[in-house]
Amino acid sequence: MKLSFSAEDEAFREELIAFIEANCPAAGYSSGDFIGTEVSDGDGIMVIPDWAREWQAALFDNGWMIPAYGPELGGRNATPTQTLIYLEELASRGIPRSVHFVGYAIAGPSLLEFGNPDQRALAPAAIRGDTVWCAGMSEPGAGSDLANISTRAVDEGDHFKVNGQKVWTSYAMLASKCLCYVRTDPDVPKHRGISALIIDMDTPGIEVRPLRHITGQAEFAEVFFTDVLVPKRNLVGEQGDGWRITMGALAHERGGLWVEGVAGCQRSIDDILTMIKSRGRDQDKVVRRRVAELYSQVRGLRALGYKGFASFAQGTSAPEHSFMKVATSELHQTLIELAMDLQGAGLAVTDRAVAESKGRWQQSFFTGLAATIGGGTSEVQRNVIAQRVLGLPRGR
């Protein structure tokens, strides 16, 4: 156990920082929430800004997009420790790699792992951001119970005919391709009857309806499929492999998925400290003690992430990481509520002209609500921890 990494790894860090400082556009330092900021036009409909396209391409071309991959895939064959350093340096500056994560984090890696040669050839453009992807996963009847999807793909010889509905589909209105999970066999146990298809979003029969969420933005959409014909060659892996494919995706970075959650909490506690001083509350004993308590929790979670990473890097399971999603999302909500409470009656003010920090906390409050729901609710996370980490028996 020691505080610093090897000299070689610290040199990697220096090179990365130099690249960021020389190349990252000012807009890249969004220092807000990592994904999904600065991508909306005035009406709240999402567009990808030019700086974000250029930044993602520059990362790819210089081997800084997914460092663990080889240069042909936007990387530099980095080690797990170097990947962790990479994620931390970006997250601590609030710099996103991409404003649409599906292509580089889900579609690209899944095609590389499970696709045939033609499909694998789609990966570089997905990772570089040249092709925008969405992932057809959740449905009205398949949220936490993802394996319950009912979008049906019927085998009609040289193609599948797809009918059904997806929901919470990020970036669907911008995407040219969808990695879509469909039910190809309704007669086997539900995890086994799922397949993954690549669906071109301009195929007749697809309707995308933006889904405005409570912040007013429309990053998600509902996607309706009506008699959509998908060529057989667009099947990824074998029929029935779909569930396995949903479990894949960017294994190289699994040891660092927690970094962003911790960085968000760290930014918030730093901003809270500044706000308390500027509002002259820094001698209030109750405030001081509460902030110190939460500060300790943020620092503890950061250390816990690193502790789990040590297991991950040695190839063993990292039970610590199971805690990180639920812990960082809930702690962040607590921090945001404290920040709003410190504003007194101003807690409900969203007028940017008068609200504390231009309404940053009220904005974060709304986006923060999604963190304990999306990507596995806190309740599902707790069930998983109880069973897989603590080894408690399944309930009924």
Partner 1 sequence: MDFTLSDEQEMVRDTARELFTKECTIDFVRSAWKQPTLAVGLFDRHLSDWLELASADAVDLMLFALEHGRAIAPGPFFASLLAAQVASATGRDLSGSASVAVSGSDGTWTPNEDATKHFVPSAADVDEILVVSGSPDAPRLALVAQAEVALTEVEQMDRLRCQYRVDTSGVAAGESIDPAAWRHALERSLVACSAELIGVGRWLLDASVDYAKERVQFDRPIGSFQGLQWMLVDAALELERAAAAVSYAAMCIDADDSDRHRAVHGAKAEAGLAARACARTGMQVHGGIGYTFEHGLHYWLRRAYAGDAFMGPSSHHHDCLAELLFDT
User: What is the contact surface with partner 1 in residues (CB under 8 A)?
Assistant: 1-5, 81, 273, 276-277, 282-283, 285, 288-289, 291-293, 295-297, 299-304, 306-307, 309-310, 313-314, 320, 323, 326-327, 382-383, 385-387, 389-396
Cβ proximity to partner 1, 233 vs 289, nearer residue: 289
Whichever of 300 and 375 has its CB closer to partner 1, that residue is 300
Question: Whole-angstrom Cα distance, residue 162 to residue 185?
Answer: 13
User: Would you say 166 or 325 has its CB closer to partner 1?
Assistant: 325
From 89, 219, 253, 356, active-site residue: 253
Q: How far is CA 282 from CA 139, 273, 278, 298, in A?
A: 48, 8, 9, 19
Closest contact distance (angstroms) between CB of 320 and partner 1 is 6
Residue 268 Cβ, how far from partner 1 at the closest point, in Å? 14
Name which of 107 and 324 has its Cβ closer to partner 1.
Answer: 324
**Contact call for residues 210 and 45 (beta carbons, < 8 A):** yes
Q: Which two tokens stand for residue 320?
A: 């610590």
Active-site residue, 253 included: yes
- Cβ nearer to partner 1, comparing 22 with 390: 390
> If we measure between CA atoms, which residue out of 309, 175, 191, 189 comes closest to residue 255?
309
CB of 288 to partner 1, least distance (A): 4
- Residue 191 has, within 13 A of its CA and on its CB side, a CA count of 6
Structure tokens at 208: 């995308």
Non-local (6+) Cβ contacts of 23 within 8 A are 55, 58, 62
Least Å distance, CB 273 to partner 1, is 6
**Cα–Cα distance measured from residue 378 to residue 156, given in angstroms and rounded to the nearest whole number:** 40
Residue type, position 25, single letter:
P
Backbone φ, ψ for residue 327 (5° rounding) = -70, -45
Q: How far is the CB of 13 from partner 1 (least distance, A)?
A: 13
Q: Which residues are catalytic?
A: 253
